[in-house]
Amino acid sequence: MKKTVYKSPPLTLRRALSFDRLVLCTGLIALTFGLSVRLGMLDPRAEVSQFAAAHATP
């Protein structure tokens, strides 16, 4: 009786899968950010100015 050994996928395939996941996550983040800006829930300029005002005080 011979046992079947499950090999891990080749390194290139694994790298491609992780790269795909990374691209997907980045795309989702960019999409949600773009949608929130479009809907006016988040104004990047206001956020930046708030951040600068909060960190400008010594």
- The DSSP code sequence of 5-56 is P-PPPPHHHHHHHHHHHHHHHHHHHHHHHHHHHHHTS--HHHHHHHHHHHHH
d(CA 24, CA 18): 10
The pLDDT value recorded for residue 21 is 85
* pLDDT exceeds cutoff 70 at 48: no
Q: What is the rounded average pLDDT of the residues 6-35?
A: 79
Q: Which pTM value belongs to this model?
A: 0.41
